[in-house]
Amino acid sequence: MRQKRSKHIPVLEGFEPKLYLLAAPSHKIAPRGFRRYSPPVTDVESAYGACARIARAHSENFPTASRLLPARLSRHLAAFYAFARAGDDWADEPGHGDAAERHGKLHAWRARLHAPPDGHPVFVALAASRQELGLDTGLFDRLLDAFERDLDQPAYDTWDDLLTYCRDSAEPVGRLVLRAAGDRDEANADLSDRLCTALQLTNFWQDLSRDEARGRAYLPRRERAELGDARALAWAIARTRRLFDDAAPLAARAPRPLRAWLRAVEAGGRAVLERVDRLGAEAFRVRPSLGTGDRVRMLVRAFGPGLPASSFGASFLLLAPARREALAALHAFCRALDDEVDEAPTPAHAQAGLERARAETRRVIAGGPLSPVGTRLVEAWTRLGQGREGRLAEGLAALLEGLAFDARGEAMEDDADLERYCLRVGGGPGVAALPVFGRDDAVAFARALGVALQRTNVLRDIAADARAGRVYVPRTDLEAFGIDPAALAGPAAPQGARRLARALAARARAAFARARQALPPGAARDLAPALAMGGVYEGVLARIEADPGRIWRERVRTPWLEGALRVALAKARAR
């Protein structure tokens, strides 16, 4: 385990799970506060105060962090933090001797955990917290097991091997936090395990440039050998994102004092992961960090209603809570299906992913899913009082037809091929969402809007898809503009690409116009969230039309504030 850094508010950078509800260290320092105390501390309040000072010594942000939690909770977390911080530093930081000396310090720390408090404030406070919360030493022992493993295993061969490490290094942290908040719900603990593992993995990918130089290799070596560094990292990011999606319901289910913090933690972890994703192979040389905009969005997510991590997030605000959750659950499930195929590193993996997606979809329609995202969708549809065999099944079947096209890796011959593809992967989810809006009569609108949104996706992601080995631009268009498909993966727009982008943008604009024409009479109010989604993506089109070269420099987005204004405009027009 490694010490992390943050100069900002907590949970913005350095998402190591054992720190995720406290504060991330702001700079590398030798562990302080772990020396032998003289005289010994016997007063519990003094011990908790010492633990808080240890946390502050490692982070300027602990006071800010603790203000987001009740004092009764933050004192327990300070004790947990102080205990884990020492073990982590001995396992991973310089200046603590060779491996044998470090093992010796960890063994002594474990012995003190199992012995009566000896006057050291960490163990006085920890004993008080354990007694109050009814905790044995098991979760703390697992953390120490992870620290010991750090000394013995600097690299991991497989994904499964890496996950076994996270079970000890990450999962105990979330379980301790839930117990400190009085939550003993095993379903919540399972969601917390997924969140903490996602945070731990995100931290690994964020720190690739540092860890590689220190001889640490958390990205599985066999996958790197088989796929190459860039594709292995992309696949790791996709699986990490899936864990975040799986864990998303925790913020609404956990005890109220934790909810804002959990939303901020999830948002921050996702933001870092997306930064790594944008860097791609550059993440092996450059450590990504968050900017002011990221931090503002995290605060908004912390104290606002739970919204999906999507460009469409603000559109969900136009729905009542139960419908909002149903749409978020559908969004997460569709993305999980898409990731099974689209993020697969090889054709064989893609075909296997397609079969998994088909099987889980059948289980969802039957009411017996295995995945957390599938369970969330079934529960949300049940709360809506909607059947799963109608529009939901129809829309998901269409999506799977589109994913089958992806799995086969076929090229688009002409725009008719692209239209059919967009009708499935864009229109399918649109049809599946109709029960959320209560407008079964809007099938034509849903399909048309889905096509428009997907055409925009294809345009926005031309360069990113090409770099991942996927080209959705029709062959006839590439020939008409004189573009070699391989050139789309380059660092800048090839000759003819700007004219191509504007032509594709014009077709997407026409698709949005067809969607508006297909709107059933009197349906604008019910479908305002969908219209707002279209408005957000038309903002993306506007930016691409103004500067098509941006496609090769960045992932073009509608700024958050503009997106919110477009949502407000859609609501006003629907009245």
Q: What is the 3-state secondary structure (H, E, C) of 45-59?
A: HHHHHHHHHHHHHHC
pLDDT at 6: 32
Which phi and psi (to 5°) does residue 109 adopt? Answer: -65, -40
Q: Is residue 257 classed as helix, strand or coil in its secondary structure?
A: helix
Higher pLDDT, 79 or 57: 79
Q: Nearest 10 degrees: CA dihedral of 355, 359, 360, 364?
A: 150
Q: Is residue 155 classed as helix, strand or coil in its secondary structure?
A: strand
User: Cα 518–519–520 angle (5° rounding)?
Assistant: 110
Domain 313-574 superfamily per CATH: Farnesyl Diphosphate Synthase (1.10.600.10)
What is the reported pTM? Answer: 0.81
pLDDT at 570: 63
Q: Looking at the predicted structure, is the pLDDT value of residue 36 above 50?
A: no
Domain 17-303 superfamily per CATH: Farnesyl Diphosphate Synthase (1.10.600.10)
Q: Is residue 32 classed as helix, strand or coil in its secondary structure?
A: coil
pLDDT tens-digit readout, 370-416: 999 999 999 999 999 988 999 999 999 999 999 999 999 888 999 99
Q: What's the rounded Cα separation, in Å, for the pair 203 and 216?
A: 13
**568 confidence band (pLDDT: 50, 70, 90):** low
Q: What's the rounded Cα separation, in Å, for the pair 460 and 462?
A: 6
Q: Which of 199, 236, 198, 195 is nearest to 217 (CA)?
A: 236
- Sign of the Cα torsion 80, 82, 88, 90 reads negative
List the domain boundaries for the chain.
Answer: 17-303, 313-574
270 vs 11, 206, 509, 557, CA distance in Å? 11, 11, 30, 16
For residues 464 and 555, the answer to whether their CB atoms sit within 8 Å is yes
For residues 529 and 318, the answer to whether their CB atoms sit within 8 Å is yes
CATH topology agreement for domains 17-303 and 313-574: yes
Q: Looking at the predicted structure, is the pLDDT value of residue 567 above 60?
A: yes
Match 């964020």 to its residue by tokens.
Answer: 206
DSSP assigned state of 35: S
165 vs 17, 148, 186, 428, CA distance in Å? 13, 11, 21, 39
